[in-house]
């Protein structure tokens, strides 16, 4: 809570100035495809290795960090991975929310109308308008950097991301138990 208070003390609201978007990759602070392309090609690392150092956070319980580590490596017992390992049948591959889609980690945590819609409310609460990323690792990177470049802000965003993903996962387990469905 102390970190949040310190962050909010340094913010100066200017009533007489209009809000505007700033693009930090250009000196003019105006978006350009060239600067986005240059950034993306210059930083084309594997997203799972890029996100790995960021998942280790001192204020996050180890079981949740290990959950995220498994999530980034697609090692959770999601239905698509269980199907690939011949643990469940083809007809059991759909999402537990009965939305009709095949259940994988990205669908469940980001794109499912039932569970993934949580992100819409969190982004709206934070005042952020992002594009929904395809993968969970991209969502993690986008989310923690959405708070700005300050380490304290990134730390707070990490805690929010971990809490959200963990709760979504726990909620899907609750859905499975209610319906007596196999993982």
Return the structure tokens found at 169.
């996962």
Does residue 61 lie in a domain region?
A: yes
12-26, 91-105, 146-160: least confident range: 91-105
- The helices-and-strands tally (H runs, E runs) of the chain is 9, 0
Write down the pTM of the prediction.
0.60
Q: What pLDDT was estimated at residue 127?
A: 87
Task: Kindly report the average pLDDT of the chain as a whole number.
Answer: 74
pLDDT band at 12 (very low <50, low <70, confident <90, very high): confident
Does residue 168 lie in a domain region?
A: yes
Does residue 5 lie in a domain region?
A: no
68-82, 106-120, 159-173: least confident range: 68-82
Does residue 115 lie in a domain region?
A: yes
Does residue 150 lie in a domain region?
A: yes
The average pLDDT across 114-141 equals 84
Rounded-to-integer distance, Cα 51 and Cα 138, Å = 8
Does residue 16 lie in a domain region?
A: no
Domain containing 51: what range? 46-179
Does residue 161 lie in a domain region?
A: yes
pLDDT at 51 over 60: no
- In the numeric block, the tokens 């993934």 are attached to 116
Does residue 40 lie in a domain region?
A: no
- Tally of domains within the chain: 1
Q: Above pLDDT 90, what percent of the chain?
A: 4
β partners of residue 102: 94
């Amino acid at each position: 809570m102390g970190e949040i208070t310190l962050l909010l003390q340094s913010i100066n609201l200017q009533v007489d100035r209009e809000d505007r978007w700033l693009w930090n990759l250009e000196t003019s602070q105006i978006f350009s495809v060239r600067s986005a392309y240059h950034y993306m090609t210059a930083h084309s690392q594997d997203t799972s290795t890029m996100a790995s150092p960021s998942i280790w956070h001192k204020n996050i319980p180890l079981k949740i960090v290990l959950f995220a580590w498994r999530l980034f490596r697609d090692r959770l017992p999601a239905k698509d991975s269980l199907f690939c390992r011949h643990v469940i049948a083809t007809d059991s591959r759909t999402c537990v929310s009965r939305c009709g889609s095949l259940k994988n980690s990205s669908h469940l945590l980001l794109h499912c109308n039932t569970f993934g819609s949580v992100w819409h409310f969190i982004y709206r609460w934070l005042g952020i308008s992002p594009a929904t990323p395809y993968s969970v690792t991209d969502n993690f990177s986008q989310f923690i950097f959405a708070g700005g470049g300050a380490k304290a802000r990134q730390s707070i965003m990490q805690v929010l991301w971990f809490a959200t993903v963990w709760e979504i996962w726990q909620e899907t387990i609750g859905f499975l138990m209610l319906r007596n469905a196999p993982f």
